[in-house]
Structures are given as structure tokens and as C-alpha cells.
Amino acid sequence: MLENKEILESIDVNGEPPTDETAKQYYYMVKAANYVEEESKEAGRKLTYFVQNFGCQMNARDAEKLSGVLKKIGYEEAFDENADFVIYNTCTVRENANLKVYGRLGYLNGVKKKNSHMKIGLCGCMMQEPEVVEKIKKSYRHVDLIFGTHNVFKLAELLVTMYESKRTVIDIWKDTDKIVEDLPMERKYKFKSGTNIMFGCNNFCSYCIVPYVRGRERSRNPKDIIREIEKLVGDGVVEVMLLGQNVNSYGKTLDEPMSFAELLQEVEKIEGLERIRFMTSHPKDLSDELIEVMANSKKICRHLHLPLQSGSSKILKDMNRRYDKEKYLALAKKIRNAIPDISLTTDIIIGFPGETEEDFQDTMDVVRQVEFDNAFTFIYSKRTGTPAAVMENQVPEDVAKDRFNRLLKEVQAIARKRAAVYENTVQEILVEETNEQDPEMVTGRMSNNMLVHFKGGADLIGTLQKVKLKECKGFYYLGEM
Ligand code: 5AD
Ligand code: SF4
């Protein structure tokens, strides 16, 4: 691998761009840095950037990649939209995510009128929808740069095009099999980090837009993953979150296939790494091998996020989830038996087309039987282009809302009960930040992902501490070191 420094030294900006993609992007970073410097001189100050992230952990990781490039070319980070370069990294999994972006774009128009140096960029899942890009071209002409989920690595090159063309630059790819390694990243936390292990999704759950906007499943080479984590650990990271839309099918498309459980065992060997998390698991692909590896591991956290979506076998079939109620229940039981202290969390969609009260009761039944430690509940949102959007029997909003409220009440009551079982035990906590309300306190996480607040100073951030959990406050604990 070429180290960044070596790449930078070998670049001749007056020559042709290199053919190797990583080197090529560094070439454009050098070029972009010149433009930023010029503009900064004109403005008489350092230029600033602000990346606003919407959506999931995948997007959060992409935002770190965007920040990495922007810092490298000379922008300084700002913490609100009064910046010279504002990027919205969008989400489109539910419609309200889209509406939020349009609202903010309207507001940005006014901000831009007051700052002649300001540029606005849009990227992420929403930009992979052609109707969205059409709408922005027509109604939000103050946007300077639009790109998608497949070419985030190209930011430096796109910025150079933007500076040179002085018009809106749009570059959306339909799909890609490209994975570009070794680009700069600016991590939000010093001590923990996400790492992509795969991109895209092949499952086509009938309600979900992700396979259309994130493309086909492709796994990163295990060597690249391990090398990245080793580097992170060398940089002070003690907890890593392996990211993929469906981590349980990791490795199937590699030249030398490898299972997710095998990858986890390799990651476990990394010295200095203390905790391993991963997101998200699809129940249909969760293997016995994985359960065994988790049960025997010292580093894999006691937390499994296992989206249920619905408890009704009929709805699950229409959702194209490829498991039924019984199979999910059996799986949950197997996991709880093998790893008794595991925290099981889930996602549930209410109001999927055709959902009857009886189907809903099946969902409630699974919730009561499994006793999820936490559940993210969503009202079904129609996404144009997905099979479910044209299904008959769309559920009226008031019916869905009523079910949603009943579900939420049940979920919260169970989560409270489950949370309380750790009272008076001593747990290992990774300290994450100074407490927002009380600067004498810090906030950290248990292995099972629950938050704990206790007395302590900022010097503890990033360390593991043994903490006695004194009082459960519903969804978090007050403790004592
Ligand atoms: N409507 C509502 N919720 C959805 N999710 C995905 N697509 C939709 C949709 N169209 C939820 C699923 C998924 C989570 C990330 O978002 O529960 O697990
Ligand atoms: Fe969407 Fe299903 Fe893929 Fe998850 S597994 S991203 S819900 S299609």
C-alpha cells in the first residue's frame, strides 16, 4: 500500500491524473487544495465546511470520508450551516427524511445570499432517485454539487470540476463494483469507529428502497478490513463497529469466500482492540456458527440487533423477508439460550399494506415472547419504485397510528423491565463523553449498549472502567466507579 505521504510526494499536478483510483483522488485533492487556498485568500479568512448527516451508520461513516477530504484540502470544520461549504448527506428510507432535506434547502437559499463564497453539496441515498435530482435541478438552483452513494470517494475530483466549471455539477452512478481504499477519513470519536465490511443489499424486502439506492451487495477484502482496523487501533480506537446492510451474508461474493463468523474471529485477534460491534443482521442468514463465535468471544459486545419487521407470517411473506414467525421465535430463543446476557434489539414496521388487527397481534405476541431490550418502531412509509408501494390494501393512517401507539407502549414497558435486571451489578463501561447536563459526570456504554452516567472527569473518555450500577432510570443507569 502507498502511504498518503508517499502518494502526495509522487503527484505532479501539472501532469495527467494517475490511473490508480486512490492516487488519482490524491491528485485531485492537491488540485482542489490550490483552489481552496485561492478562494481563502480572496475571502481573507480560512474557509469552513459543515457536513450534515441524515440516516444510518453507513451514512455516518460516509460523512467521515467527506470530512476527511475537506480537511485535507484546507477547509476547517464548522458546526452549523454558516459555513462556506455545506453538504447534506441524505437518507431516503422513509419519506419524512426527504421532506426534512427540502425544508433545510429552502432555508439555505437565504444563508447563501449573504455569503458569496458559499457552496452547497448534496449526496447520499436520496440523490440516487432520479425524481429527486429533477426536482432539485428545477426548484433548488442554489445547489452547486450533487453526487450519490457510489462515488463518495470522488469528492475531490468533483470539487475540482465544480471550481473549474462554475455551474452545478451532477454525477450520479447507477451502481458500482468499485471499492476504493486508503482515502482520508476524519473520525468523529477518537476511541471508537465504524468500518464498512460490505456495501449494498441484495435482499429486496418489498417495502425497502435501500437495494435501489445502495446497489448490489459487495464485500470488502478481509485483508483491507483488518489492516484498516489495525490502523485505527494504532490511532487510539478501542471499539469498532463492523457495518453492512446485511453483515450475515458477508464474504459470499469474494474470490475466496469467507463467512462473517470467520471475519469476526480474525478481527478478534487484533491486539489492543477491546470491543467489537456489528450492524445489521438479517434473521434469515444468521448462522449457528455466528452464535457460537459470539458466545465464546471476549470482545464481541453482548448486543444483537435483529430486525423483526413484523410478527405475522403472512406479512413477512409479503415483505419478502424469507422467515416466518416461528422461525424468528426459534432463532431468538436459540440466541438467548447460548448467550444469556445478550441484549436483543429490533426494528418493527407498523401498517405494511394488508396488515390486519390479527397480523398486528402476531407482532405484539412476538414482542412479548422475545422481550426485546429495545425496539425501533416505524410507521410504514410508501417508497415509490418498491413492490409494496403498489400493493392493495394500504393501511389508513389513523389505524396505523393507533397500532403504533399500542406497540410503543408495550415495547417500552418491556424494555424498562429488561433494563432493570443489571441493578447493583458491576459492569465494564466504555466512557464516551462528558455528561451533557452535569460536567462533573461522564457518560459511557455497557457492552449491551445501555448508557450509564457516573461521576468522573474528561480524562476518562475512551477508557474502560468498572462501574457499579446503582439505579436504573428506565433506559439508562446512574452508577459509581
Ligand atoms: N417504511 C418504514 N420503515 C422502513 N424501514 C425500511 N424501509 C421502510 C419503509 N418503507 C425500516 C426497517 C429497517 C429500518 C432501517 O428502517 O425497519 O430495518
Ligand atoms: Fe432494506 Fe431488507 Fe436490505 Fe435491510 S435487508 S436494507 S430492510 S432490503
Q: How far is the CA of 361 from the centre of ligand 1 (A)?
A: 20
pLDDT at 188 (0 to 100) = 87
Q: Pick from 442, 440, 444: which is nearest to 429 by CA?
A: 444
pLDDT at 4 (0 to 100) = 61
Q: Which residue's CA is minimally distant from atom 2 of ligand 2?
A: 205
Q: State which ligand 2 atom lies nearest to the alpha carbon of 214.
A: 6
Q: How far is the CA of 117 from the centre of ligand 1 (A)?
A: 38
383 lines ligand 1 (CB under 6 A): yes
Q: Which residue's CA is minimally distant from atom 5 of ligand 2?
A: 203
User: b/e map of 359-377 (b: 16 or more CB within 10 Å)?
Assistant: bbebbbebbeebebbbbeb
Ligand at minimal distance from the CA of 379 is 1
pTM: 0.93
Which pairing describes strands 239-243 and 343-350: parallel, antiparallel, or unpaired?
A: unpaired
pLDDT at 47 (0 to 100) = 97
Q: How far is the CA of 92 from the centre of ligand 2 (A)?
A: 13
Q: How far is the CA of 34 from the centre of ligand 1 (A)?
A: 43
Q: Which helix (H) or strand (E) holds 350?
A: strand 343-350
pLDDT at 211 (0 to 100) = 96
207 lines ligand 1 (CB under 6 A): yes
Task: Give residue-wise pLDDT tens across range 11-40.
Answer: 787 889 999 999 999 999 999 999 999 999
Q: State which ligand 1 atom lies nearest to the alpha carbon of 382.
A: 10
Phi, psi (deg, nearest 5) at residue 22: -60, -50
pLDDT lower than 70: segments of the chain: 1-9
206 lines ligand 2 (CB under 6 A): no
CA-CA-CA-CA dihedral for 242, 245, 247, 248, to nearest 10: 160
